[in-house]
Amino acid sequence: MHLELNDEELAFRDQVREFLRTKLPKSISRKVLEGEDLNRDDMVTWQRVLAAQGWGGVGWPKQFGGPGWTPMQMHIFDEESALLGGPRLNPFGLRMVAPVIMAFGNPQQQQRYLPKIASGEEWWCQGYSEPGAGSDLASLKTRAVRDGDSYVVTGQKTWNTLGQFADWIFCLVRTDPQAKMQEGISFLLINMKSPGVTIRPIKLLDGSVEVNDIFFDQVRVPIENRIGDENRGWTYAKFLLGHERTNIAGVGIAKRELARLKRIARDERKNGKPLLDDPLFAARVAQVEVDLMALELTTLRTISMEKNKRAPGPEASVLKVRGTEIQQAISELTMLAMGPYALPWRREAMEAGYQVDPDAEVGPHYASTAAARYLNLRKLSIFGGTNEIQKNIISKMMVGL
């Protein structure tokens, strides 16, 4: 199957490729292509390169400072960037809170926050999940009590991604404990440097510190930092989650990793032949590739809804489920292709610059990150709403069960 691009889209693709070849720092693309961790400086550097090109607000309309790309152009950019080693852009500002601010924020909020998101000047994170409110998000307990021109926020958020780098966090808070669960929630923007905000890192299975607990102890938040109406936050949250789940699909990243898997499987040998010639292994690779093709078409149909000012609906749940399953399947096959070379390496040694003895048969360098990536990607089926919950949404809203 091949998607045909028209002349305008082909010209845009060539423009993106040339930009990536000339402007994407090689030190950053090497890390991405070899599966190494990026630090905050890497991600901010890339965001600023995009901003200098006028592409800082990727996917944003021109009226808010974006390039005004079509959904197809956005898809092309994501795919080309992934294939050439462009970092996955921090989604919390660009693709999650920014669309909410555009749709429901007032002009002052749009002017205050959007330019600094696009420029990379301010880093955002998300405050949704709590220890007792993950998939059942509407049961959240973090309170925001009105006190004059401010809210006083008290509570805890968990599984907060990259909050240790963030300048701002967008939060769901309970402003009316007497109302029905979904009807007493508001959407607040909170400065992470506010007195009373505490960050506690959580070490993940792969040894990384990617997520955090965030504690709010009598944190004062100005009323003007509330998006939209009080107690209407659930509406804005559902709008945001549609964008998050669409983004998690990661078609471009999956294509890059699938191509990498094929290269590895051609190099690795089984009974003297390339592993990709093994019928059973080749069949598993082919199945993933077919699934990825179907996901791409579904993604294009879903993102085209934005053309008509329609936020992604239950279709985003389909993308979330299949996209995460495909990325996990590719990482598993990559581990299998590497064999014993994919055994875990200690992250502390890698970060300290551990050098492999050139005479030791420890395998190719790219294998050193395979286990960590495999372990890290187990989270995909949990965050953004567990896949089990997404299947419930699909059955109720699309199938009618």
Poorest-pLDDT segment among 71-75, 79-83, 126-130, 228-232: 71-75
Q: What CATH number has the domain bearing residue 282?
A: 1.20.140.10
Over residues 102-109, the mean pLDDT reads: 96
Same domain, 184 and 147: yes
Q: What is the reported pLDDT for 226?
A: 98
Nearest one of 252, 249, 293, 240 to 93, comparing CA atoms: 240
Same domain, 312 and 271: yes
- Structural domains of the chain, count: 3
Q: What is the reported pLDDT for 245?
A: 56
Report pLDDT digits (tens) over 190-202: 999 999 999 999 9
Same domain, 61 and 163: no
Residue 258 has pLDDT above 80, yes or no: yes
For residue 296, CA distances in Å to 68, 79, 179, 318 come to 22, 10, 41, 12
Q: Tell me how crowded residue 313 is: count the other CB atoms within 10 A of its CB.
A: 14
**Domain assignment of residue 110, yes or no:** no
Taking the C-alpha atoms of residue 101 and residue 113, their distance in angstroms, rounded to an integer, is 8
Poorest-pLDDT segment among 33-42, 110-119, 255-264: 33-42
Q: Tell me how crowded residue 307 is: count the other CB atoms within 10 A of its CB.
A: 10
Domain that holds residue 281: 249-399
Poorest-pLDDT segment among 45-49, 251-255, 272-276, 287-291: 272-276
Nearest one of 64, 185, 69, 197 to 125, comparing CA atoms: 197
| Residue finishing a domain among 176, 200, 232 | 232
Over residues 15-19, the mean pLDDT reads: 97
Are 341 and 364 a contacting pair, CB within 8 Å?
Answer: yes
**Domain assignment of residue 364, yes or no:** yes
- Kind and range of the H or E run holding 126: strand 124-127
Same domain, 227 and 263: no
Q: What is the reported pLDDT for 339?
A: 82
Residue 358 has pLDDT above 70, yes or no: no
pTM of the full predicted structure? 0.83
Taking the C-alpha atoms of residue 94 and residue 236, their distance in angstroms, rounded to an integer, is 16
Q: What is the reported pLDDT for 156?
A: 97
Taking the C-alpha atoms of residue 207 and residue 331, their distance in angstroms, rounded to an integer, is 17
Taking the C-alpha atoms of residue 119 and residue 246, their distance in angstroms, rounded to an integer, is 23
Assign 70 to helix, strand or coil.
Answer: coil
Poorest-pLDDT segment among 91-100, 143-152, 192-201: 91-100
Two structure tokens written together for 17: 């490729």
**Domain assignment of residue 240, yes or no:** no
Same domain, 265 and 361: yes
Residue 354 has pLDDT above 60, yes or no: no
**Domain assignment of residue 221, yes or no:** yes
Taking the C-alpha atoms of residue 215 and residue 155, their distance in angstroms, rounded to an integer, is 6
Poorest-pLDDT segment among 253-262, 292-301, 314-323: 314-323
Q: Which residues contact 351 (CB under 8 A, 6 or more apart)?
A: none
Q: Which residues contact 228 (CB under 8 A, 6 or more apart)?
A: 104, 105, 187, 235, 236
Average pLDDT, the chain: 86
Over residues 77-93, the mean pLDDT reads: 92
Q: What is the reported pLDDT for 347?
A: 59
Same domain, 289 and 333: yes
Same domain, 192 and 267: no
**Domain assignment of residue 96, yes or no:** no
Residues belonging to the active site: 244
Taking the C-alpha atoms of residue 308 and residue 157, their distance in angstroms, rounded to an integer, is 34
Q: Which residues contact 166 (CB under 8 A, 6 or more apart)?
A: 92, 123, 124, 125, 192
Same domain, 392 and 254: yes
**Domain assignment of residue 58, yes or no:** yes
